[in-house]
Amino acid sequence: MACSLAETIDPRTASAFQLGLVAAEQKDYGQTIAQFTQAIEESDHLAAAYSNRCLAYLQTKHFQAAIEDCSQAIDRDRSQTEAYLNRGMAHHHLGDYSAAIKDVNRLLKLDPKDFRAYFNRGLAQAELGKPELALEDYAKAIEYRKNAQYDEISAIYMETGLSHFELKDFDRAIENLTQAIAWNKSNSQAYYNRGSVYSQQQNYAAALQDFDQVLALNEQNAEAYLNRGVVAYNLGQTASAQQDLQQAAQTFWHQGQVDAYKRTIDLIAKFQQGHASAMG
C-alpha cells in the first residue's frame, strides 16, 4: 500500500509525489520509481517517498534496493508501518527469514492488529520449519482480517492448510484449503494443494477433479499435468495418464525446466514399463 503525504511541501516535490502515486496505482513501477526519485532529489527528508519507492522496488523484485529505501524511510520516521512491512517482505524474498520476522515484530508494536504482519510472520515461520508457530500467526491474521480483500483471506486459509499438511493433519488441511477456494474460486494454487492432499490420502477421484480445475484456470501449469497424470495412472486410466505426462514434459521443456522435464520422461518410461509388464 502506497503512503500519502502528511505534510506540506513545495509544488515541484508535491507534483512528482502525486505522479508517483498515480503510477503506482496503475502498476507502472518504472514510472513510480522515476517520480519518487525526483521527489527525493527535491526533498530528501520525505520518509513517504522512500517508502513508496521501496514498494516499487519490491514489486519489480529489486529486493536489496527495497531494503535500502525502506531503511531510509524508517530512519526518517520510525512510525512508518508500511516500510517495516515491505522491508520484511524484501528480507523474506532474499531468504533472510529471521530479519523478516524482526521487521514484522517492530510493525506489530506499532499496530498489533495488522493482519498482513501476522500473515507474513507466519510465512517466515513456515519457511523456518516451524508450522505450529506459523499456524498461530495465521489464526491471528484471520482474527484481524476485517480490512482484508477476499484474495488475501483466501491466501491465509491456503497457507493454513499447507501448515496442517506439513503436520500430516490431512483433514484440517483439506478443510482450510476448501475455505481458501470458497473465498477465491480463482485460486488455482489452492485447488492444486487440495488435490495434492487428496492424492496423499489416495482419494484419487477427488484429486482428479481438483487438478482438472487447476488446468481450467491455468493450462500452462506443468505440475498439474504431472500430478493429474499420476492420479489417472492410479485410477487405471493409462491412456489419460500417458497424455498428461507427455503434456507435462512438453510444458516443462518449453518453460526451460530441464530437470523437471528429465524426471517426467523417466516417470513416463517407468509407467510404460509397468504397463507392459502388466499386459505381458
Domain count, the chain: 2
Q: Is residue 238 part of a domain?
A: yes
Q: Which three cell numbers stand for residue 39?
A: 521527489
* pLDDT tens sequence across 88-109: 999 999 999 999 999 999 999 9
| pTM of this prediction exceeds 0.85 | yes
Q: Is residue 204 part of a domain?
A: no
Answer with the one of 82, 106, 130 that is the final residue of a domain: 106
Mean pLDDT of 167-193: 99
Domain end: 106, 129, 159, which one? 106
Q: Domain of 80: which CATH number? A: 1.25.40.10
* In-domain check, residue 118: no
pLDDT in tens, 32-58: 999 999 999 988 889 999 999 999 999
Rounded Cα distance between 136 and 101, Å, is 14
Mean pLDDT of the chain: 94
Q: Is residue 244 part of a domain?
A: yes
Residue 2 lies in a domain: no
Q: How many CB atoms lie within 10 A of CB 269?
A: 10
Query: How confident is the model over 54-74, as pLDDT tens digits?
Result: 999 999 999 999 999 999 999
Parent domain of 42: 7-106
* Domain-embedded: residue 143: no
141 assigned to some structural domain: no
Other CB atoms within a 10 A radius of the CB of residue 236 amount to 9
Does some domain include residue 81? yes
How many residues in the chain?
A: 280
pLDDT at 212 over 70: yes
Q: Are 224 and 214 in contact (CB under 8 A)?
A: yes
Residue where a domain terminates, one of 106, 140, 170? 106
Angstrom distance (rounded) from CA 64 to CA 73 = 14
CA-CA-CA-CA torsion for 29, 30, 33, 36, nearest 10 degrees? -90
